[in-house]
Each structure stands twice: as structure tokens, then as C-alpha cells.
Amino acid sequence: MIDIELGAVQERFADIVWAHEPIGSGELVKICRKELNWKKSTTYTVLRKLCEKGLLQNVDGIVSSLISREAFYSLKSEQIVEDSYQGSLPAFVSAFISRNDLTIQEADEIQRMIDTFKKEE
């Protein structure tokens, strides 16, 4: 089971891995030094934690994800709806759009998505 509860730093690290995977752990250390100003030990500590959470793997020094970025953020979105809106997608959408005016193009795009994914009763 994947633990999708990540802090901002862990999420940023995962984004780096997703952008470069598969990536050698040495190269990952270099990228993290440049982008996050991390020491080697910090990179390996965060990597180990995300491997323990079931998000990443480090096999023979090659780091890759066990779940895609898209799948992770989809799970995270589902968890937000479940935790904050008692699982009600309409309540989530209502809360979101009540504070953000939709353009006609956005409304049309959302309607197309609904039409595409609407389940037969």
C-alpha cells in the first residue's frame, strides 16, 4: 500500500524523480544539490523514506517510481475529497468553483469531461 501523505519537501523530491526517472542515485544527489541545496545524506534519507512509503524504489543504485506522478496526484485528490467533503465530489466541485470564477472555456472543458466519463445507470 502506498502512503500518499507527503510533506512539501518529499513531494518536491518525488517530482524530481518523476521528471528524471529512471535515474542513478549519484545523479539524483547532484540534482538535489543543485535544485534543493541538499547534502548527499539528506537525499538518501528522503529517498529511503519514500521507498518505505512505497512510492519509490532504489534497485542497484537506480531510482524509479512505483506509481506514476499522475496516479499519485489522482489518489491524493481522491483522499482530499474523502477527508474534506465526506467523499462527495459535487460538494468539492461546488466549494472549488464558488471561490474561482470559471471561464466559458473551462466550463465547456469540464462539461466535456463529465460527458465523456458519465457512467451509464
Could you read off the pLDDT tens digit of each residue along the chain, which spans 121 residues? 577 788 899 999 999 999 999 999 999 999 999 999 999 999 999 999 999 999 999 999 999 999 999 999 998 888 889 888 998 988 888 888 887 788 889 889 988 888 888 865 5
Strand partners, 62: 24, 59
pTM of the model: 0.74
Sheet with 56-59, edge to edge strand ranges: 23-24, 62-65, 56-59
Residue 101, pLDDT score: 80
Phi, psi of 30 (to 5 degrees): -65, -45
Residue 121, pLDDT score: 52
Instruction: Give me the domains of the chain, ranges plus CATH numbers.
Output: 8-69 (1.10.10.10), 88-121 (no CATH)
Residue 68, pLDDT score: 94
| CB of 47 closer than 8 Å to CB of 63 | yes
